[in-house]
Structure 1
Amino acid sequence: MTIRVLHIAAELYPLLKTGGLADVLGALPLAQVELGADARVLLPGFPSVIDGLADLREVARLPAAFGVDDASIQFGTLRDADGGVAGLGVYVVRADRFYRRDGNPYVDEAHRPYDDNMLRFALLGWSAAQLAGSADPAWSPAVVHAHDWHAALAPAYVQAAHETSGAPRLPSVVTVHNLAYQGLFPAHEWSSLRLPDRYFGIDGLEFHGQISFLKGGLYFADRITTVSPSYAREIQTASQGAGLDGLLRHRARDLTGILNGVDYAVWNPRSDRSIVATYSPTRLHPKSKNKAELQARLGLKADSDALLFGVVSRLTEQKGFDLLLEAVPEIVSRGGQLAVLGTGDPALEAGMRRAVQAHPEAVGIHVGFDEALAHLVIAGSDVVMVPSRFEPCGLTQLYALAYGSLPLVHRVGGLTDTVSDASLENLADQAATGFVFERFEHDALVAAIRRAFALRARRTDWRRAQQCAMQQNFSWQSAAERYLALYQQIVPQR
């Protein structure tokens, strides 16, 4: 049986990307299509989404809702990086009042969330329920799969439609990509959501007197997944459960950790057109040309022997950037360099700029996001740093492994599941792929940095670790198979 699945999310690479969520949505549905599923995606009608789809056409007019009386659902096909058709069907909620805005899709120029975000993303989840109820006469899903808080009300709207109008009760899945972002809104705006009043309570969307979109998904979805096995365990604890650990423990039997994958068609040092020299595990020497280019791009001293630490990240405390800033003197004093690509907390950006001013030949930063430069940082670095306080999965370390740029990570979440520390035992077994520190403390991070310098001095062991890292396989096929098996457990067999 070909299963029909509707993914609901706020972004999808290459149409729109602010973080790893876009990479997941750009890869998982296509991997499922390759396995025989009929997978499609529903997105808000942001300008880059509208512009990036081929053959866009209207399939349904939506009833007036959430203060919008001219919304529609349109359907098109994803274009690939070369402008051709990638083969993935994409639905778009067309509501220009909500989505046609310049700049960031979630926040204004002052980094403040848009005042109408609750309605903007309620419309997304509600539109998913309309598709579940055959708004498109030519296609309807057998299961809806919501990703993160922006889409998390979809299961609630599906359930509400079933209860109030007799619409089909389709099974649903919600995937938590980051529990820290829950979509919290004032309780006095409840009536705007078009949900039954009984849904606002401890058994529903109420969260400490507020509305939580993500809690709604966790409560109403048939299955809950997270993006790594370790994170699935961690979010059931008070320390990492963000106040939802009790609900998650209650639903532990319905909670599964499925590790994210890598789209090796995009992230592959053998064929990457965003880097200046391609290379492979058996032909590593061209990697140094990417290092030289990265040093030039960020104004670092041209020095092939300097151990170059790279960062591609949102500059937030969650990503451990405050801890990393404290460690900059250790890197520089040992002759290392630091190349940073990212944007985020203004205070952390300012701290990084001060580090650049203090060490202009050893520290460089590009504030913002540049997809091509991200590839160059990953390829040109010797070590890629992911010192996150918590990390649901992390994709950066997976990209680093593929490029032989040894990840340096905190032992948490998906970082635990994907990086093997360069301990003496792992080096002896030729299983080392990076550097792992246990405690989220300055001394622990510095110790890992020192071990990176020590291993680099042992060139043979360093090369073996690079080759071992590049031989790891985190393809999306395995994840896609696990999700399809999960759907089969909850879709009624006809």
Structure 2
Amino acid sequence: MAKSPSKKRILHVASEAYPLIKTGGLADVVGALPLALDATGAVESTVFLPGFPAVMTGLIDVKLYAKATALDGSPVRLLSGKTRTGLRVIAADCAPLFGYAGNPYQNADGSERAGNGLAFASFSKLAAEVAMGIGRRKGFDVLHAHDWQAGLAAAYLKIARAPVTTVFTIHNLAFQGLFPRALLDKISLPSSVFQEDGLEYWDKVSCLKSGLVYSDWITTVSPTYALEIQMDESGMGFAGLLRSRSERLRGVLNGVDQTVWNPAIDADITTPFSATDWSGKAINKRALQDQLGLSKKASGPLFTIISRLTGQKGLDLVPDLLDGIVARGGQLALLGSGDTAIERAFMAAQDRHPDHISITIGYDEPFAHQLQAGADAILIPSRFEPCGLTQLCAMRYGTIPVTSRVGGLMDTVIGATPASVANGAATGVTFYPVGPHMLWAAIDRTFSLFADAPVWNRMIDTAIGQDFGWTLPAQDYLALYTS
């Protein structure tokens, strides 16, 4: 009898993963993609994470995997374990590098942590050692690095001429991991890598560029974003490099974990509902209005925003439009944090309209579920958006996205044109270019659609029936791993 081929071993390297530690969509992807890959039966996936306190306390079945040494000489315990969702994890337990609680990249005042360069260089080098086989442990066939925090891993493997395939995924090209040239003296890479064709970027070390240059494959999180970043106006300084590697660049659309974002079984919402019977959504809306002290007499839609409050997300445009939304009978419930000026502008609008606007600064995962379940529409006016996950979660909960036509938003939301409304294909309201007038036109269009109950309900039917799970993206990644 022929021996069945062994499964490829995939090591995902990232700085965060749901449900252990999360600041954004990266954690959702790293928490779900490996499980979807394993479900195919073709590979065995493990996630390599920094040993932040939230990671160490969240793991179960913890065992010593190996011992290692960080670049600063600190001892490192590599610990294996699992999450409550079944994700296999190896964590780098090293208090001098990762033993701080809170945001994994920033201090309490929002400034970057001074030791980030050395910490994530050590993290990348440790990942490369694990991928090659550390101690008596078996190595991995593929190292799949996510974003700049893992970008140097490809350089370490290339220098070592290790027989490990490398894949580097860009989740957001704007975050580039730039550090002073002096960092190179501390991270055990030869000076030859510090050149235009290496990881040098304007006389700085770029961890992101390392991933772009030294990986066998580059992916990003939507097909449209893969095209956008090869254009000078959207390439954040790397368009030429990405064009030169276009044959090795793929756009693979993100999915959402449909066991986590599922209104039929969601314990965080007031009343469950499904694609075949979403009558419970109205109950969730009333419960949300009660919870936030919003008037139930509003005649227009309840909008939500669940986002980082930044210019990239286009949310500096929204506060000036809130008086108009309230005047039309609309409401807004926001969850997010970021730019202090944007935060203050939203808070001022809440002070003017406490019965119609609720602003919550911060992030709360259960509350995000409640907002998705109770809102009528979600505002996502991003200036650029690699993929976006909130619009995928929103449609899953029958909440209509109001989005700009950029990146992954363009790939996932079908705008409500006369034709798409007539044939029942519309899943959202879209606009371009990004600016206050076009955003207001989209909001105005949303009010008109909401007022036409048969049309609005049909849009909900179409949106809530979309399948943005991980099955198809997992197949795309498998094709890369085996190429």
For normalisation by structure 1, the TM-score amounts to 0.95
Q: Hey, which bits of structure 1, 4+ residues long, moved more than 6 A?
A: none
Alignment correspondent of 1:154: 153
Q: Judge conservation of contact 1:274–1:373 (CA < 8 Å) in 2.
A: yes
* Distance across 2 between alignment mates of 1:184 and 1:151: 13
Classify the secondary structure of the residue corresponding to 1:323. Answer: coil
1:19-58 aligned within 5 A: 19-36=24-41, 37-58=43-64
The unaligned stretches of length 5 or more in structure 1 are 81-85, 163-167, 490-494
* Distance across 2 between alignment mates of 1:69 and 1:96: 9
Structure 1 position 79 matched with structure 2 position 84:
yes
CA positional deviation for 1:384: 0.8
CA positional deviation for 1:304: 6.2
Q: Which amino acid aligns with 1:154?
A: A
Of residues 224-233 and 96-105 in structure 1, the stretch that sits farther from structure 2 once superposed is 96-105
Alignment correspondent of 2:431: 437
1:468-483 aligned within 5 A: 468-483=462-477
CA positional deviation for 1:138: 3.8
Q: Judge conservation of contact 2:300–2:450 (CA < 8 Å) in 1.
A: no
CA positional deviation for 1:136: 5.3
Q: Judge conservation of contact 1:407–1:419 (CA < 8 Å) in 2.
A: yes
Q: Which amino acid aligns with 1:402?
A: R
CA positional deviation for 1:298: 2.4
Classify the secondary structure of the residue corresponding to 1:374. Answer: helix
Q: Judge conservation of contact 2:118–2:183 (CA < 8 Å) in 1.
A: no
* Distance across 2 between alignment mates of 1:305 and 1:476: 37
CA positional deviation for 1:487: 0.7
Alignment correspondent of 1:208: 202
* Distance across 1 between alignment mates of 2:432 and 2:135: 51
Superposed CA RMSD:
1.1
Q: Judge conservation of contact 1:292–1:304 (CA < 8 Å) in 2.
A: no
Q: Judge conservation of contact 1:387–1:410 (CA < 8 Å) in 2.
A: yes
Q: Judge conservation of contact 2:304–2:332 (CA < 8 Å) in 1.
A: yes
Classify the secondary structure of the residue corresponding to 1:232. Answer: helix
Of residues 141-150 and 303-312 in structure 1, the stretch that sits farther from structure 2 once superposed is 303-312
Structure 1 position 465 matched with structure 2 position 464:
no
Compared CA separation, residues 186 and 138, structure 1 to 2 (3 A): closer
Structure 1 position 414 matched with structure 2 position 413:
no
Structure 1 position 94 matched with structure 2 position 100:
no
Structure 1 position 196 matched with structure 2 position 195:
no
Alignment correspondent of 1:6: 11
Alignment correspondent of 2:129: 130
* Distance across 2 between alignment mates of 1:31 and 1:305: 42
Identity %: 45
* Distance across 2 between alignment mates of 1:128 and 1:480: 22
For normalisation by structure 2, the TM-score amounts to 0.97
Q: Deviations over 1:147-172 (max 9, x none)?
A: 0011111111111222xxxxx33110
Q: Which amino acid aligns with 1:122?
A: A
CA positional deviation for 1:419: 0.3
Q: Which amino acid aligns with 2:227?
A: R
Classify the secondary structure of the residue corresponding to 2:103. Answer: coil
Alignment correspondent of 1:110: 109
CA positional deviation for 1:285: 2.0
Compared CA separation, residues 136 and 334, structure 1 to 2 (3 A): farther
Q: Deviations over 1:351-393 (max 9, x none)?
A: 1111111111111111111000000111111001111110000
Q: How many residues align?
A: 477
The unaligned stretches of length 5 or more in structure 2 are none
* Distance across 1 between alignment mates of 2:80 and 2:97: 18
* Distance across 2 between alignment mates of 1:45 and 1:405: 36
